[in-house]
Amino acid sequence: MTAEPSPDVRPSESSEPAGRRQLILAAAGRLFATKGYGGTTIRDIAHAAGLTSGSLYHHFDSKEAMLVEVLHEFLDGLVARFERVERQARGPDETLRLLVHDVFRTVHETPDAVALYQHEAPGLRHQPQFVFVEQATGRVEGVLRRAVAAGQERGRFRPDLDQSLTYRFIRDTVWNAVHWYHPDGALGHEELADRYLRMVLSGISARPAPDRAQP
């Protein structure tokens, strides 16, 4: 009786190019985040990915194509997570808590993509090939805006708050963590999110009206 041949554990021809593409995208995203899109060359990306410039063109036809894919991957995931939170959370307080934790986790896990989005998105939104950036940004911001509005409508957040200002404060302060957060710091991203939420919620949460009958 002959033994069955051992299965071939080598990567298939279809999986190897996919893995190489991800390697290239990771290198491109890191360089775009640190050097800027304009300051990064195809040669830089190829060198970081361990390829020649010519072989890189077998996977992507331009530097712009890489930027499109890096941003699409980041924003598609972000939109999906934010909208899932909005559907599943049991009120505006929980929505805000889960969104803040997601942002800090995103900063922890994909700092290059966050930095790239922050630095490059403002200049890309109105270019036809990057219209998806504007659309995704609107959907993400809409989730947070609706959470703030719902918190006021349900009496969970202070009624005197300016909704637009509150939303912008939360958005800007939480995403700017990418500029100071260190993965090896004293506090992990979960603890930082909790501390941030305590500060924010103490400022925006509605408080019971004082008992005027008391001296």
How many whole angstroms separate alpha carbon 41 and alpha carbon 26?
15
- Residue 2: is its pLDDT beyond 60? no
- Residue 12: is its pLDDT beyond 60? no
Domain range summary for the chain, segments of one domain joined by + = 17-61, 62-204
Collect all residues with Cβ–Cβ distance below 8 Å to 9 and sequence separation of at least 6.
none
Q: Which CATH class is domain 62-204?
A: mainly alpha
User: What is the pLDDT, as a whole number, of residue 126?
Assistant: 80
Instruction: Please give the model's pTM, rounded to 2 decimal places.
Output: 0.83
CATH for the stretch 17-61: 1.10.10.60
Q: Of 135-139, 175-179, 206-210, which range is least confident?
A: 206-210
15-55 pLDDT, tens digit per residue, is 456 788 999 999 999 999 999 999 999 999 999 999 998 88
- Residue 3: is its pLDDT beyond 50? no
